[in-house]
Amino acid sequence: MSKRISINPNLIELDYAVRGKIPQRAAEMEREGRSTIPCNIGNPQALGQKPITFYRQVLSLLEYPTFISRERTIKNQIQSETVPIETFSDTILDYADEFLGELKTGTGAYTESKGPLFIREAISNFIDKRDGADVTNGQLSNPDNIFLTNGASDAVRRILEILITDKNDGIMIPIPQYPLYSATIKRSGGTQINYYPDEDMDWLLNEEILEESFTEAEKFGINTKAIVVINPGNPTGSILDEDSINLVLDFAEKHNLAVIADEVYQDNLYGGSFTSFAAATGVRDILLFSLHSTSKGFHGECGHRGGYVEIRSNPEVTDDGLKLLDIFLKQASVSLCSNTIGQCLTYMMVNPLQNETEDSYKYETEKAAILNDLNTKAYMIKSAFKEMLGVECFGRTGAMYLFPRLNNIPAGKDDFDYCMELLEATGLCTVNGAGFGQKNGTHHLRIAFLPPKESLETVLPKWIQFNNQYISKS
Ligand SMILES: Cc1ncc(COP(=O)(O)O)c(C=O)c1O
- Cα–Cα distance measured from residue 124 to residue 110, given in angstroms and rounded to the nearest whole number: 22
Predicted TM-score (pTM) of the model is 0.93
Asked whether residue 277 carries a pLDDT value surpassing 90, the answer given is: yes
Domain boundaries, the chain: 11-40+363-471, 53-105, 117-350
- Give the 3-state secondary structure percentages of the chain, helix then strand then coil, rounded to 5: 50, 15, 40
How many angstroms does the Cα of residue 432 sit away from the middle of ligand 1?
18
Report how far apart, in Å, the C-alpha atoms of 31 and of each of 25, 39, 216, 264 are: 10, 18, 47, 33
Give the helix/strand (H/E) hosting 174. Answer: strand 169-174
- pLDDT score at 16: 62
Secondary structure E strands in 352-425: 391-392, 401-402, 405-406
Beta carbons within 8 Å of 19's beta carbon, 6+ residues apart: 40, 41
How many angstroms does the Cα of residue 7 sit away from the middle of ligand 1?
27
- pLDDT score at 77: 75
- Cα–Cα distance measured from residue 114 to residue 377, given in angstroms and rounded to the nearest whole number: 38
Ligand 1 atom with least separation from CA of 41: 14
Beta-bridge partners for 289? 260, 311
- Give the tens place of pLDDT for each residue, 190-229: 999 999 999 999 999 999 999 999 999 999 999 999 999 9
Ligand 1 atom with least separation from CA of 295: 9
Asked whether the beta carbons of 156 and 184 are under 8 A apart, the reply is yes
CATH domain 117-350 topology: Aspartate Aminotransferase; domain 2 (3.40.640)
Q: Which of 344, 393, 451, 420 is nearest to 98 (CA)?
A: 344
Give the helix/strand (H/E) hosting 23. Answer: helix 21-31
Ligand 1 atom with least separation from CA of 233: 1
In CATH terms, the superfamily for domain 11-40+363-471 is Aspartate Aminotransferase, domain 1 (3.90.1150.10)
- Give the tens place of pLDDT for each residue, 299-336: 999 999 999 999 999 988 887 889 999 999 999 999 99
How many angstroms does the Cα of residue 405 sit away from the middle of ligand 1?
23
Which residue type does 51 have?
A: P
The percentage of the chain sitting over the pLDDT mark of 70, rounded to a whole number, equals 97
- Cα–Cα distance measured from residue 361 to residue 358, given in angstroms and rounded to the nearest whole number: 5
Mutate to test the pocket of ligand 1, among 19, 40, 47, 178 (most ligand atoms within 8 A of CB): 178
Asked whether the beta carbons of 316 and 323 are under 8 A apart, the reply is yes
Mean pLDDT, residues 158-182: 95
How many angstroms does the Cα of residue 95 sit away from the middle of ligand 1?
28
Which residues line the pocket of ligand 1, CB cutoff 6 A?
42, 151-153, 178, 180, 230, 234, 262, 264, 293, 295, 302, 307
Q: Which of 241, 232, 295 is nearest to 265 (CA)?
A: 232
- Cα–Cα distance measured from residue 7 to residue 367, given in angstroms and rounded to the nearest whole number: 45
How many angstroms does the Cα of residue 152 sit away from the middle of ligand 1?
6
How many angstroms does the Cα of residue 427 sit away from the middle of ligand 1?
25
The percentage of the chain sitting over the pLDDT mark of 90, rounded to a whole number, equals 78
Ligand 1 atom with least separation from CA of 399: 16
Ramachandran assignment for 151, one of left (phi > 0), alpha (psi -120 to 50 degrees), beta (any other): left
- Cα–Cα distance measured from residue 207 to residue 293, given in angstroms and rounded to the nearest whole number: 29
- pLDDT score at 390: 93
Asked whether residue 72 carries a pLDDT value surpassing 90, the answer given is: no
Mutate to test the pocket of ligand 1, among 41, 268, 289, 293 (most ligand atoms within 8 A of CB): 293
